[in-house]
Amino acid sequence: MAKGRPREFDADEALDKAVFLFWRQGYEGTSMSDLVDAMGITKPSLYAAFGNKEELFKKAVDRYEERRIAFLGGIFDQPSSRRAIEAFLMMFTGADAPDGTPCGCLMVQGALVCSPDGEAVKEDLLSRRSSRMKQLFERLEDWKAIGDLPHDTDTESLGRYVATVANGLVVQANGGARPEELRAVVRQFMQSWPGAEPSEATGDAACVA
């Protein structure tokens, strides 16, 4: 049996290009022609390797999540909620992003679709974000349990507050706000954080329950 012709492109590299394009333009703002041009492959090759636009987008989000989750794991492993949340929010300012990295967050921007054709994509992204929110709630509970957060902290409301600020940073970044402006917003937000100051991470703070 004759073997099929080998692909004439690097699938991982092509997928990375799709990630960046969807990240910049959103799901509905990206056409198949845009994808073909950005990925440097033919339309038949795109369909054969990745499926239709919706299937390609989900693969792109999977790729994005793999990298973002690994990064977030390092942030949320910190014993101090204050340091972890500040690092988490600073991620959305774009201040430390490599050159060429799009502003904002693919998980947020990709969900900004409203046509019936984009409903399945929107629901998928909302489901993924809901899962990430649950992880944030659980981590805030962990910090509360060890006394890093006050014993009466409503971790669900606090988590939604953090997510709302993060989403706002994404919108501001896409609107042209400079990283240093957004970093100032994060610093302002952290002034009201209920977690102990870094210098208080031991001692009395550990006894709050």
Contact 61, 128 (CB under 8 A): yes
Contact 56, 46 (CB under 8 A): yes
Q: What is the model's pLDDT at position 99?
A: 59
Angstrom CA distances, 80 to 6, 99, 107, stand at 50, 30, 26
Residues 110-126: pLDDT tens digits? 766 566 677 888 888 88
Q: What is the model's pLDDT at position 202?
A: 37
Q: What is the model's pLDDT at position 206?
A: 29
| Token digits of residue 104 | 């904002």
Q: What is the model's pLDDT at position 100?
A: 60
pLDDT-flagged residues of the chain (< 50): 1-2, 6, 200-209
Q: What is the model's pLDDT at position 95?
A: 65
Q: What is the model's pLDDT at position 184?
A: 96
Write down all domains in the chain, each with its CATH number in brackets. Answer: 78-192 (1.10.357.10)
Q: How far apart are CA 49 and CA 46, in angstroms?
A: 5
Q: What is the model's pLDDT at position 66?
A: 86
Q: What is the model's pLDDT at position 2?
A: 47
